Amino acid sequence: MIRLMMRAEMALLLTAGLLVTAACDGSGGAAVSQPSNQVSATTQHGPPPLGWYANVAYFTQWGSHSRNFEVRDVEASGAAAKLTHINYAFGNIGSDGRCLAGGHGEDGDAWTDYQRRFTADESVDGVADALDQPLAGNFNQLRKLKQRHRGLKVLLSLGGWAWSKYFSNAAATAASRQAFAASCLDLFIGGNLPISGEPQGGPGSAAGVFDGIDIDWEWPGSEGNQGNVIRAADKQNFTLLLAELRRQLDAYGSALGRQFQLTAFLPADPDKITAGVEVDRALGLLDFATVQGYDFHGPWENRTNHHSQLRSPPADPAPGRLSVETAVDAYLHAGAPARKLVVGVPAYGKGWRGVPGTDRGLYQPSAGPAPGTWEAGSEDYKALVKRPGMRFRDTTNGAVWLHDGDQWWSYDDPPLLIQKVAWIRSNGLGGAMMWSLDGDTADAALTTALHDALAG
């Protein structure tokens, strides 16, 4: 059985032309050479087989230290047995366009990712970590989770809202795309983590944890978080970045006799799709794409509205009329294979305060964001399900909301998820994705609803 790849073995793949060719530039780094062949952006990866549905959920790195939600809880809740994929959020990209690991701040959180030693009570399998074992932290707990659930795949998700700043730099040129992909594979697929302040890390220390890469660039060619780098060529460069990742993942997997997956999180707003996604070409390179199905509206607006509606009701006053149906239709009309589209659903709600009772609080003015456990205007499903107040349901358009006379919350519950999955199945789509596991209940009510409806 092929064991972990060391850095030297990685270099052999690089110099063989399977990834990129690198030479020392005299500064302690690597100068990436031009490729011998142009990267093809037309390599096609077919849709998932009929009858198979993805049930994807994100595990947030920060949840394990700021929200008291560990990898162990994914097992204890029963969620792990009901998922096809866990996306670990997030890995960061440096200003030089390369993947980062280790350290703190911009680099991430090495302690949480792979250095923290878990006690027996904290661990997935009840076994305490040793002080000097090569891999600890969440990465080792995910490895243990996979050992218990052999069909479960874990992908390293890159970017997200806070860490998409330098995606445009990574995608800008052939050389930057090669360096980006090689750095990501080196760290997270080859598992060659840096040693920094603790004994964990080293060549091959995290090999086998991740089964692929998920790209969460928010957003190519249009505004995301303040300060993100945006280029006019982002749309085309996004495709080329996916193509380079696809090429290197396929080459690396071929050398190991296995396959690695490539997925991406894509926007719901048709304007952002047009600005940043070459839909037919990009989807041809991905195993599947998860489409944003939430944050259509929120308390950054002064009027209440559904944040994750399946369809936009006729009375919806918002420009753009965002909905799951609108987003999916935009991708289908642009040439996306239906089976490659996985619909995102939220394990949290968006809330407003100072909302009058007119029309059950829907489309009403507000006084601002409602208080939330972690941030104003946002609350986990596990908290919302316990809140007092009147609940209302639009079964025609697929929306649920809660109004207690002052606060107004839009969220998804198990019956709504079942309705969404019925729509997913009837339209031949590829499954569902949930953000994020720490918002679900202790018995994984949302994950279970998705699993059972997809399996049904």
Tens of pLDDT, residue by residue over 240-264, are: 999 999 999 999 999 999 999 999 9
The CB density around residue 31, as the number of other CB atoms within 10 Å, is 13
How far is it, in rounded angstroms, from Cα 356 to Cα 340? 42
pLDDT at 10 over 70: no
> How far is 400 from 306, CA to CA, in rounded Å?
8
Does residue 316 sit within a domain? Answer: yes
pLDDT on residue 381: 98
| C-alpha distances out from residue 68 to 61, 105, 172, 175, 313, Å | 11, 20, 39, 41, 38
Strands (E), 218-331: 261-266, 288-291
pLDDT of residue 102: 64
Q: How confident is the model at residue 276 (pLDDT cuts 50, 70, 90)?
A: very high
Alpha-carbon distance 164 to 266, whole Å? Answer: 13
Q: Which of 70, 218, 244, 325 is catalytic?
A: 218
- Please name which of 447, 394, 392 lies closest in space to residue 421, comparing C-alpha atoms: 447
pLDDT for res 101: 84
Distance of alpha carbon 191 from alpha carbon 228, whole angstroms: 28
Question: Is residue 220 included in any domain, yes or no?
Answer: yes
Q: Which helix (H) or strand (E) holds 318?
A: none
Give me the domain span that covers residue 307.
52-348+414-455
42, pLDDT greater than 90: no
Question: Would residue 218 show up in a list of annotated catalytic residues for this protein?
Answer: yes
- In a domain, residue 252? The reply is yes
Residues 6+ apart with CB under 8 A from 2: 256, 257
Q: Locate the DSSP E strands across 267-356.
A: 288-291, 341-346, 348-353
**Lowest mean pLDDT segment, chosen from 101-105, 195-199, 409-413:** 101-105
Residue 204 lies in a domain: yes
Q: Please report whether residue 103 resides in a domain.
A: yes
Q: What is the pLDDT of residues 352-379, one digit of tens each?
A: 999 999 999 999 999 999 999 999 999 9
Is 21 inside a domain boundary? no
Question: What is the arithmetic mean of pLDDT over 144-171?
Answer: 97
Percent of the chain with pLDDT strictly greater than 90: 86
CATH code, domain carrying 140: 3.20.20.80
Q: Is the peptide bond before 219 cis (omega within 30 degrees of 0)?
A: yes
* DSSP state at residue 38: P
Task: Please list the residues that pair with 60 across neighbouring strands.
Answer: 89
Q: Is the pTM of this model over 0.85?
A: yes
Instruction: Summarize the confidence of residues 394-416 as an average pLDDT.
Output: 98
- What's the rounded mean pLDDT across residues 81-97? 96
| Number of domains the chain contains | 1
Half-sphere exposure of 198 (CA within 13 A, CB side): 22
Reduced to 3 states, what is the DSSP secondary structure of residue 454? helix
Distance CA 160, CA 383 (A): 24
- 31 assigned to some structural domain: no
Looking at residue 107, its pLDDT comes to 58
In this structure, is residue 404 part of a structural domain? no
- Residue 449 scores a pLDDT above 80: yes
Degrees, nearest 5: CA angle 410-413-418:
125
